[in-house]
């Protein structure tokens, strides 16, 4: 049993995810230098033109019109409110998705029941449909005038659409699959021998979860949390539909960016976009760090 | 539980181990309720609303000229983007796995940037470089080329990240065997490498297609949303919601939903076939 201690088991089976840098020369590696260079530089050109230079341009444009003037928009009352609302949304939506995501992953991996395949497919739906359709779905359900249950909520004095709860719901919907999809493969890989051992030794379900299961899936969970956070921070389509985009009230940072471009305050738009881009780069850094951690464990 | 004593390799038959049936049922119930409330019921509301006034009205909304134009552009652009991604994504994965050059690690981690970057920012990055005051003199804003470019940006990682792990694990002995038997490099790639990569390429392509079909945020500023020219389906739906026609919006949404679901099913089939091999 000790030999199959979980974190190594993947590598033992040759399932390691990362490239290993021992590369024996294959027939397709040597050969014509020109072909290799042509391929390499076409790929680099494609990436530069589509991805790298455009992202750099955001920073260039922000500083072009004067850094201070551009940042006035971000530090304006509406800008700061947008930032605050975005952070609040992340703080509500991500923990909810993490708890339910881990639970969903556990149920999907550890249990067998009828309709599991359907449930499994359901989880991927938020990835496969347009965020605008997600927003529409929430309006049709919770809208104060024509929503199926929205009227009842409205009578109770609870406003969901055009308000913070709607924005949070939209963000939970769009980022629902991330934690599940990151945790499921880890749970599969570690198996349930350790949990069984813990239970045999008299641990209760909670104790088993906190002491055995959670420590072994923690990097999967962390990775899912980082991805969810990035998605919630940047969610635009679904939030656009459900929020009503009221400046200083229901405007998140991505909506604020669009508003700046619409009122021809491009400098402010670029500055706010730069804040979001910087957060995205931070996310990317975290993703890489977690990947390295995972490898070392 | 007699088998749990020592041998590590022995897998216990699952039914033998059922310590907490009650909590299993409870957690299953919570998960089913959670997914129903969050995903299933909202989507059912869309389908229900689209057919509320009967099938005839659904059909009228889904086939009005502006909606059809938007749907056609969406599907055609998504197909074109998927095709480009299949070639470019495989090439990128190939270079990242088989080639070696300074800065490769950095490039490799940049590939995920479109996943981390908010879609509205993705549109603005392209606007900054290829907008009306483009510093390189190339303007794609408010054109179909702009739509394609935005979709290429947001779907970039799918094929690369699907193909990369398969390529890493690909056994090079097969290539060497083919080479020693006199196959040319092109033949080796076409007959040995490509068939091995096909399931991964298809899986990545399906994901990219589904994403391209529904994309909204990156297009809203870049495409100009000109009806009949650069307006994609999600932007059309958005316009219908804004003007209060939620039934019309729901009808076009159902069409989009059907296309996405078809893709998901196809993806499942491809993945299952990949596992079987």
pLDDT in the model for residue B20 = 54
pLDDT in the model for residue A73 = 81
Distance, CA of A291 to CA of A281 (rounded, Å)? 15
Cα torsion through B33, B39, B41, B43, rounded to 10: -170
pLDDT at A83 over 60: yes
Q: Looking at A37-41, A185-189, B1-5, B147-151, which range is the least confident one?
A: B1-5
Q: Which residue has the higher pLDDT, A172 or A191?
A: A172
Q: Interface pTM (ipTM) of the complex?
A: 0.86
- Furthest-apart CA pair in chain A: how many Å? 74
Mean pLDDT throughout A40-65? 91
Mean pLDDT throughout B249-260? 91
Cα torsion through B151, B154, B159, B165, rounded to 10: 170
pLDDT at A21 over 50: no
Show which of residues 153-172 on chain B sit within 8 Å of chain A, judged by CB atoms.
153, 156, 164-165, 168-169, 172
Cβ distance of A258 and B6 shorter than 8 Å: no
Distance, CA of A60 to CA of A54 (rounded, Å)? 10
Distance, CA of B150 to CA of B122 (rounded, Å)? 7
Look up tokens 């297609």; give the residue. Answer: B209
pLDDT in the model for residue B77 = 96
pLDDT at A195 over 90: no
Q: For the packed helices B246-276 and A116-128, what is the interaxial angle rounded to 10 degrees?
A: 120
pLDDT in the model for residue A245 = 84
Q: Specify whether the CB–CB gap between B242 and B155 falls below 8 A.
A: no
Instruction: Give how far B97 is from chain A: nearest CA, Å.
Output: 7
Cβ distance of A280 and B121 shorter than 8 Å: yes
Cβ distance of B234 and A237 shorter than 8 Å: yes
pLDDT band at B4 (very low <50, low <70, confident <90, very high): very low
Q: Looking at A151-155, B36-40, B234-238, which range is the least confident one?
A: A151-155
The 10s digit of each residue's pLDDT in B120-169 is 999 999 998 998 888 888 888 899 999 999 999 999 999 999 999 999 98
Instruction: Kindly report the three-state secondary structure assignment for every residue of chain A.
Output: CHHHCHHHHHHHCCCCCCCCCCCCCCCCCCCCHHHHHHHHHHHHHHHHHHHHHHHHHHHHHHHHCCHHHHHHHHCCHHHHHHHHHHHHHHHHHHHHHHHHHHHHHHHHHHCCCCCHHHHHHHHHHHHHCCHHHHHHHHHHHHCCCCCCCHHHHHHCCCCCCCCHHHHHHHHHHHCHHHHHHHHHHHHHHHCCHHHHHHHHCCCCHHHHHHHHHHHHHHHHHHHHHHHHHHHHHHCCHHHHHHHCCCCCCCCCHHHHHHHHHHCCCHHHHHHHHHHHHHHHHHHHHHHHHHHHHHHHC
The CB-based long-range contact list for A272-275 (8 Å cut-off, 24+ gap) reads A272/A73, A272/A74, A272/A79, A272/A82, A273/A58, A273/A62, A273/B120, A273/B121, A273/B124, A273/B125, A274/A58, A274/A59, A274/A62, A275/A74, A275/A83
pLDDT band at B3 (very low <50, low <70, confident <90, very high): very low
Let me know how long chain A is. Answer: 297
Q: Is B113 on the interface with A (CB under 8 A)?
A: yes
pLDDT in the model for residue A3 = 35
Mean pLDDT throughout A120-128? 88
SS3 B175: helix
pLDDT band at A22 (very low <50, low <70, confident <90, very high): very low
SS3 B167: helix
Nearest CA in chain A to B167: A19
Q: Is the pTM of this model over 0.90?
A: no
Q: What is the mean pLDDT of chain B?
A: 87
The CB-based long-range contact list for B274-277 (8 Å cut-off, 24+ gap) reads B274/B199, B274/B200, B274/B203, B277/B199
**Residues whose CB is less than 8 angstroms from the CB of residue A175 and which lie 6 or more positions away in sequence, other chains included:** A93, A94, A97, A126, A227, A228, A231, A232, A235
How many other β-carbons are positioned within 10 Å of the β-carbon of residue A103? 19
pLDDT at B10 over 60: no
pLDDT band at A31 (very low <50, low <70, confident <90, very high): low
pLDDT at A29 over 50: yes
pLDDT band at A296 (very low <50, low <70, confident <90, very high): low
Q: Is B149 on the interface with A (CB under 8 A)?
A: yes
pLDDT in the model for residue B271 = 66
pLDDT band at A206 (very low <50, low <70, confident <90, very high): confident
Nearest CB to A40 within list B95, B250, B263: B95
pLDDT in the model for residue A284 = 86
pLDDT at B217 over 50: yes
User: Which residues in A lie closer than 8 A to residue B42 (C-beta atoms)?
Assistant: 134, 137-138, 140-141, 173
pLDDT band at B15 (very low <50, low <70, confident <90, very high): very low
Instruction: Give how far B80 is from chain A: nearest CA, Å.
Output: 16
Show which of residues 62-81 on chain A sit within 8 Å of chain B, judged by CB atoms.
none
Nearest CB to A234 within list B112, B119, B235: B119
A70 exposure class (CB count in 10 Å sphere: 0-12, 13-18, 19+): buried
pLDDT at B264 over 90: no
Distance, CA of B161 to CA of B96 (rounded, Å)? 11
User: Which residues in B lie closer than 8 A to residue A193 (C-beta atoms)?
Assistant: 8, 12
The 10s digit of each residue's pLDDT in B226-240 is 888 999 999 999 999
For every residue of B203-267, DSSP letters joined together read HHHHHHHHHHHH--HHHHHHSTT-TTTT--HHHHHHHHHHTT-HHHHHHHHHHHHHHHHHHHHHH
In eight-state DSSP terms, residue B52 is T
Q: Specify whether the CB–CB gap between A256 and A272 falls below 8 A.
A: yes
How many other β-carbons are positioned within 10 Å of the β-carbon of residue A91? 13
Q: Which residue has the higher pLDDT, A16 or B166?
A: B166
């Amino acid at each position: 049993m000790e030999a199959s201690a979980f974190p190594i088991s993947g590598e033992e089976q040759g399932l390691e995810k990362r490239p290993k840098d021992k590369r024996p020369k294959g027939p397709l590696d040597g050969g014509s230098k020109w072909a290799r260079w042509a391929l390499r530089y076409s790929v680099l050109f494609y990436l530069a033109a589509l991805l790298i230079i455009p992202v750099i341009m955001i920073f260039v444009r922000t500083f072009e019109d004067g850094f201070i003037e551009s940042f006035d928009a971000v530090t304006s009352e509406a800008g700061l409110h947008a930032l605050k609302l975005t952070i609040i949304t992340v703080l509500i939506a991500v923990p909810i998705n993490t708890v339910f995501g881990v639970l969903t992953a556990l149920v999907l991996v550890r249990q067998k029941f009828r309709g599991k395949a359907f449930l499994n497919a359901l989880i991927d739906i938020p990835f496969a449909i347009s965020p605008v359709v997600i927003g529409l779905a929430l309006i049709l359900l919770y809208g104060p005038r024509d929503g199926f249950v929205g009227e009842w909520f409205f009578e109770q004095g609870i406003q969901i659409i055009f308000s913070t709860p709607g924005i949070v719901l939209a963000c939970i919907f769009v980022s629902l699959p991330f934690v599940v999809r990151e945790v499921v493969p880890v749970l599969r890989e570690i198996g349930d021998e350790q949990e069984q051992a813990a239970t045999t030794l008299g641990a209760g379900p909670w104790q088993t979860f906190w002491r055995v299961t959670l420590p072994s899936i923690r990097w999967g969970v962390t990775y899912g949390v980082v991805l969810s956070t990035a998605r919630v921070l940047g969610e635009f389509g679904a939030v656009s539909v459900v929020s009503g985009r009221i400046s200083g009230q229901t405007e998140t940072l991505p909506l604020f960016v669009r508003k700046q471009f619409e009122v021809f305050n491009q400098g402010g738009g670029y500055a706010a976009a730069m804040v979001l881009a910087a957060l995205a780069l931070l996310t990317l850094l975290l993703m890489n760090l977690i990947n390295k951690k995972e490898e070392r464990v | 539980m007699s088998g749990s004593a020592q041998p590590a390799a022995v897998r216990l038959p699952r039914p033998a181990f059922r310590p907490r049936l009650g909590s299993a049922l409870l957690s299953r119930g919570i998960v089913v309720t959670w997914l129903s409330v969050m995903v299933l019921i909202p989507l059912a509301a869309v389908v229900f609303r689209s057919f509320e006034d009967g099938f005839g009205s659904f059909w009228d909304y889904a086939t009005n000229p502006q909606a059809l134009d938007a749907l056609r552009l969406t599907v055609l652009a998504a197909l074109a983007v998927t095709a480009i991604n299949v070639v470019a994504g495989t090439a990128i994965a190939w270079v990242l796995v088989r080639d070696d050059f300074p800065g490769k690690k950095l490039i490799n981690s940049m590939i995920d940037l479109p996943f981390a970057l908010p879609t509205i920012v993705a549109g603005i990055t392209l606007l900054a470089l290829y907008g009306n005051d483009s510093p390189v003199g190339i303007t794609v804003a408010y054109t179909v080329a702009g739509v394609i470019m935005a979709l290429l940006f947001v779907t970039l990682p799918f094929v690369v990240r699907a193909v990369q792990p398969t390529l890493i694990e690909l056994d090079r002995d097969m290539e060497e065997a083919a080479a020693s038997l006199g196959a040319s490099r092109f033949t080796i790639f076409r007959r040995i490498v490509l068939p091995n990569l096909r399931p991964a390429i298809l899986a990545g392509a399906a994901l990219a297609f589904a994403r391209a079909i529904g994309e909204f945020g990156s297009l809203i500023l870049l495409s100009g949303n000109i009806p009949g020219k650069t307006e994609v389906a999600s932007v059309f739906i958005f316009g219908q919601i804004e003007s209060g026609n939620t039934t019309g919006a729901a009808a076009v949404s159902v069409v989009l939903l059907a296309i996405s679901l078809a893709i998901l099913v196809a993806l499942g089939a491809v993945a299952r076939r990949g596992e079987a091999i």
